[in-house]
Chain A
């Protein structure tokens, strides 16, 4: 144990009340920082998981076609006219099978599914609602969504798999139409009506989806929407969804189709979560600010009370930097204890918060607070506390070091 640390520890323990005040503020600052970050990132992660399980990690939507002018330039190397190249987006995927085969060759791709979408009206014996038909091939779609796990009725997907005349209806839409399994619905497109049996009811938790989407077999959808070829989009799931941006850029180059990663598709919501996270971090940083002020106050008091001790130490050969270190060690001791206790406090409160009932059924579905503790939350909380408390401690520490021993002793002796 270094002499400076030993002295710092004794100085600190001699001021128990002030030290406990600084310590409790540090514990609160670190702990609440962790709690707020764990809850905001918990909701964000849950939202991301929900949308990945529903709409996949990426979507291939439109074919990219070079404009005529730029093709001419590209095809005629003699003409070196420098101008911005234009592109045109042609809606939908014309050759879904070819694109799907190519997409499957990407190592990170877990699954790919062609989806044909169309606006329809759906009627039950009770009422009529606007909806969207999603034509899917179940064996492909199983790999790109968690639809199977979102089925809330005990029948599961068995009937949907067996019968082309069946449909999967979202929970909200089913409630609005007062539908149950095995009841029939009529889907109306451009004056043509077809009857389907409700094979199962699903609930993703995302209200907009559960209110509008009806899943039917892809071949049936082609017939209903009169689109014998092509797909509205291809839904892709990845082994590592975090790499969606890179994969999308790569695929776009290879496939000459517009590829949208989930980060871009949901960027509005993601930015809301980011803003919430930052704002809550700023709010709880007030506790850390109070901790740093308390530390400043404690050290300033100790400097005032220990001027004689500072003079003694200086007379014994302790340098100015030793005095600075003695006071910074005091801050470091409070910080170390505060970080450990604050970390435990933060983890415990986060766990407690995760038990708090909180029914949500709009952006996603949950019954409780969602918490996602990450080592990064601890690192961020402790780094914030260290920076703020150490900066606040520097002032009294440097003041103590600047004290002239002669002035102190003379003031006492005369």
Chain B
């Protein structure tokens, strides 16, 4: 496998990397049980950037976690690269996450005991496609691409919020996934860093033919995406 950032496109732009239909999700129990997603359907093509927007509590993040196979729907189907995943066991869903999906979370979620380089190598180590020197070379290249080539050996605690989020972007790209899911990736950053991280995410994803789905409250970010899908009360409007 090449370590080039530009040699990834597994399929031509336009193919569906992800589809879901009729997704239902309830959260809570008893009287507190809430119907969060009420039959949501969605498709994401490679090379396209999608923004899911809407008020707090409308089900954006819940949808994102379902699409990322971090959670199980109560109804409906999810397909990742043509493979139906919603009815698969935990082992298959975990394997699919490792191979096809990269996550960027709002609160960076770096592993703080590890350096930036080690954080980026973490998904590669699990997938085991590359040798150790290849992993390190790819991690360095990704950190270079996000502008952190000089800070590869800094621990998570020694990086600013914007830098941590850029490391998280590099980590999401580590296994060359076909889908990048980002939950408020700029929600915790100032304007300058928000723009930086968004530009980085969309540029790298487009260069690699990856589908990027991001949840955001930021209208400026949403406007710059290829497709914006507003949500309300558990449905796209």
Q: A: which residues have CB within 8 A of B? A: 3, 6-7, 10-11, 13-14, 308-309, 311-320, 322, 404-407, 409-410, 412-414
Measured between beta carbons, the chain A residues less than 8 angstroms from B98 are: 316-318
Instruction: Specify which of B56, B90, B103 is in contact with A315 (CB 8 Å cutoff).
Output: B103
Separation of A407 and B62 alpha carbons in the complex (Å): 10
Separation of A410 and B215 alpha carbons in the complex (Å): 13
Are A410 and B65 in contact, with the CB atoms below 8 A? yes
Separation of A313 and B70 alpha carbons in the complex (Å): 11
Are B70 and A406 in contact, with the CB atoms below 8 A? yes
Give the contact stretch, choosing among B37-45, B74-82, B123-131. Answer: B123-131
Are B125 and A3 in contact, with the CB atoms below 8 A? yes
Closest to B72 in A: A406
Q: B: which residues have CB within 8 A of A? A: 27, 56-57, 61-62, 65-66, 68, 70-72, 90-91, 94-95, 97-99, 101, 103, 105-107, 109-111, 113-114, 122-123, 125-127, 171, 175, 183-184
Instruction: Specify which of B27, B57, B113, B122 is in contact with A11 (CB 8 Å cutoff).
Output: B113
Measured between beta carbons, the chain B residues less than 8 angstroms from A11 are: 113
Are B90 and A320 in contact, with the CB atoms below 8 A? yes
Separation of A318 and B105 alpha carbons in the complex (Å): 17
| Distance (whole angstroms) from the CB of B52 to the closest CB of chain A | 13
With A409-B65, A413-B184 known as contacts, the answer to whether A314 contacts B109 (CB < 8 A) is no
Measured between beta carbons, the chain B residues less than 8 angstroms from A316 are: 97-98, 103, 122-123, 126, 171
With A317-B127, A414-B61 known as contacts, the answer to whether A309 contacts B111 (CB < 8 A) is yes
Separation of A320 and B106 alpha carbons in the complex (Å): 24
6 A-B pairs with C-beta separation under 8 A: A11-B113, A313-B122, A315-B70, A316-B122, A317-B94, A317-B97
Extra inter-chain contacts (8) besides given A313-B122, A315-B70, A315-B103, CB under 8 Å: A6-B125, A309-B111, A317-B94, A319-B94, A405-B71, A406-B66, A406-B72, A412-B105
Instruction: Specify which of B97, B101, B113, B123 is in contact with A10 (CB 8 Å cutoff).
Output: B113
Instruction: Specify which of A10, A322, A413 is in contact with B126 (CB 8 Å cutoff).
Output: A322
Measured between beta carbons, the chain B residues less than 8 angstroms from A319 are: 90-91, 94-95
Are A314 and B71 in contact, with the CB atoms below 8 A? no
Instruction: Specify which of A14, A322, A404, A409 is in contact with B105 (CB 8 Å cutoff).
Output: A409
Measured between beta carbons, the chain A residues less than 8 angstroms from B111 are: 7, 10, 309, 312
Separation of A11 and B91 alpha carbons in the complex (Å): 24
Closest to A404 in B: B71
Closest to B215 in A: A413
Measured between beta carbons, the chain A residues less than 8 angstroms from B171 are: 316
Measured between beta carbons, the chain B residues less than 8 angstroms from A414 are: 56-57, 61
Separation of A14 and B66 alpha carbons in the complex (Å): 32
Are A317 and B70 in contact, with the CB atoms below 8 A? no
Closest to B128 in A: A3
Are A406 and B95 in contact, with the CB atoms below 8 A? no
Are B65 and A3 in contact, with the CB atoms below 8 A? no
Separation of A413 and B216 alpha carbons in the complex (Å): 12
Separation of A409 and B56 alpha carbons in the complex (Å): 16
Measured between beta carbons, the chain B residues less than 8 angstroms from A314 are: 70, 94, 97
Measured between beta carbons, the chain A residues less than 8 angstroms from B95 are: 317, 319
Closest to A311 in B: B109
Separation of A390 and B170 alpha carbons in the complex (Å): 37
With A317-B97, A318-B126 known as contacts, the answer to whether A10 contacts B106 (CB < 8 A) is no
Closest to B68 in A: A315
Instruction: Specify which of B99, B107, B125 is in contact with A413 (CB 8 Å cutoff).
Output: B107
| Distance (whole angstroms) from the CB of B205 to the closest CB of chain A | 17
Measured between beta carbons, the chain B residues less than 8 angstroms from A413 are: 61, 105-107, 183-184
| Distance (whole angstroms) from the CB of B187 to the closest CB of chain A | 9
| Distance (whole angstroms) from the CB of B214 to the closest CB of chain A | 13
Closest to A14 in B: B113
| Distance (whole angstroms) from the CB of B188 to the closest CB of chain A | 11
Separation of A406 and B123 alpha carbons in the complex (Å): 18
| Distance (whole angstroms) from the CB of A305 to the closest CB of chain B | 11
